[in-house]
Chains A and B, each alone.
Chain A
């Protein structure tokens, strides 16, 4: 299994800015007075609230259930009282509000009843998947896709389970710190994943700028006497942690365009997800907290905090010595793929890996016309032609952009970072993707409207036919009434 490493195309060497936030041990964030829990913290359908305002809830109690297959429940991160269910600002690039459950904490941290499973190895994988689903676990590396789905081999043979520990984006160190401090939990979680997937091989892919984390993983593997998990260092080059990029580097295999890794026998999970799965299965604890990196030029004491979901971001900034009012720009995620948060009062959610707070922002240089230098294509790790995508997105020719594999773009931002004309390329791709999705939605809505309209026309025609039939019948009856007279007269 120890093959040589490949190289993915493009990519960038970026300033890591990681040491700032790895100087001190991870601390628990202070328990806030109010926790604000969005019902939609994952990819898929919004969860549905199962509590009412005024209800007392316990730590770990499910407060919103999954709605449909691709969805995830939400749990109370601490004990207290539900004080409100309604729209609140959430961390989202739109700055809009969305349905949230607000809990006023009581400070007792009283747990609900937990059902740990000690001997997971004797459990049926589908039972484990169910536990993981009920625990609300979603991918903690980025997008928040419900993890139980990616633990179902769906009849395919999974050759390799890859654990993504690359954490390639600058400033973000939450996975690094988790590996240093909770390596054993990660390894236990990986064992559960291997069991669920029947994966033959298992590789943890970690960038070579995290020697302490790597050492901690290797030590944990030795202490736990676990074989079959290989820790492989990959060169530090952004975006080595992109799923397709990491798979390529570690195995040499290419995930086909529009395809999933499982189609080539590979499943990829984040290391933090593995730790969450361990806590869910062996401690019966649902996903209610995570490590969050709080860093950036506006943060005097950058560090990682263990944060309950629903904690307002402003409180984390304060705990790290920052004054939220003096922060000029707050980004959720890293500098390359994160998005601006409009107000610091929004809560930390399952996909919040990092808060990047900057005090002074250099003005963005003005965009100039594209000079077709091709630098973007050289930097693109997905083998795309960014300038073509840009031309077509700019011109509103979305089908052409799609023909250039727009949807293979991982929005890593390498192209925009090297563009000498400072064109905000990724924004154009997001715009084009959004337009395509909107049109798809509108088309579906139009199809429904067409059907309803045709149905209405049919109904009106039917009504008319019935009316006419009634008239005809009445006429016939009238005719019938006069007819007997005639017969009797004979």
Chain B
């Protein structure tokens, strides 16, 4: 029994080391311009820009391959920030890639979940917890709202819900919004 525990602890330590090392080893140091662009992207990792994540999109912007208006979650503010950084004119979001939506979070209807792990494989930030044939659940804090887990679910038990405001995330509206209009 004890030896088993020791063996597992040792294994865990070794894997920890490997992962830690991998994280350092694979950390994309690279181009400072790409880093600067990446710092402005929302890190939703949703792929709507046409690239498999924010960093590839940043690389494509830096190389001139992609335009600055392809990221829906970044919205207008994101485009303006990119335009400022790159000294270009802002332009409206390219609707081909989608529209800015309110912040969402994935919710798994747990009784329906069959534990197939497909959503875990789809989640770009490891925000879903679960094991084979076990019920899965989303770590709300870490979910970026990318929606990538929704389509793979064979029993359609994942839905996106708007992020609820609580006292800590609530913010004052502009007087225009408060008066019922929309700014």
User: Which A residues fall within an 8 A CB radius of B?
Assistant: 40, 90, 92-94, 96, 98, 367, 393-394, 396, 424, 427-428, 430-431, 433-435, 437-439, 441-442, 445-450, 452-459, 461-462
Check A96–B171 contact: CB distance below 8 A. no
B175 touches A427 (CB 8 A): yes
A458 contact from B26, B53, B127, B171, Cβ within 8 A:
B26
Name the A residues within 8 Å of B38 (CB-CB): 450
Please state if B19 and A431 are interface contacts (CB–CB under 8 Å). no
Q: A462: which B residues are within 8 A, CB to CB?
A: 18-19, 22
Known pairs A92-B170, A456-B125. 6 more at Cβ < 8 A? Answer: A427-B174, A427-B178, A445-B43, A449-B144, A458-B19, A459-B19
Report Cα–Cα, A430/B177, bound state, in Å.
Answer: 13
Would A453 and B45 be within 8 Å (CB), given that A96-B167, A98-B167 are in contact? yes
- Chain A residues near B19 (CB, 8 Å)? 455, 458-459, 462
**Docked complex Cα distance between A94 and B168 (Å):** 10
Number of interface residues of B (CB under 8 A): 35
Q: Report the separation of the CA atoms of residues A460 and B169 in the bound assembly, to the nearest whole angstrom.
A: 34
Q: CB of B142 within 8 A of chain A? A: yes
User: B116-146 interface mask toward A, CB cutoff 8 Å, 1 = contact, 0 = none?
Assistant: 0000000011110000000000000010100
Are the CB atoms of A438 and B169 closer together than 8 Å? yes
Residue pair A453, B43 in contact (C-beta under 8 Å): yes
B27 at the interface (CB under 8 A from A): yes
* Interface CB pairs A-B, < 8 A, 5: A94-B165, A94-B170, A431-B175, A449-B45, A462-B18
Residues of chain B with a CB closer than 8 A to A40's CB = 167
Question: In the complex where A452-B142, A453-B124, A461-B22 touch, is A442 in contact with B42 (Cβ < 8 A)?
Answer: yes
B178 CB contacts on chain A under 8 angstroms: 427
Contact of B22 (CB < 8 Å), options: A441, A447, A458: A458
Determine how close the nearest CB of chain A comes to the CB of B152; give it in whole angstroms: 16
A367–B53 CA distance with the chains assembled, in angstroms = 45
Complex Cα distance A204/B23, Å?
Answer: 58
* B171 engages A437 (CB within 8 Å): yes
CB neighbours of B18 from chain A (8 A): 462
Q: A94-B167, A435-B171, A452-B126 are in contact. Are A446 and B22 (CB under 8 A)?
A: no
A90 adjacent to B167 (CB under 8 Å): yes
B44 located at the interface, meaning its Cβ lies under 8 Å from any Cβ of chain A in the complex: yes
Nearest chain A residue, comparing its CB with the CB of B167: A98
Interface pair B23/A458, CB less than 8 Å apart = yes
Contact with A453, one of B22, B53, B172, B175 (Cβ below 8 angstroms)? B53
State the CA gap A396–B183 with chains docked (Å).
10
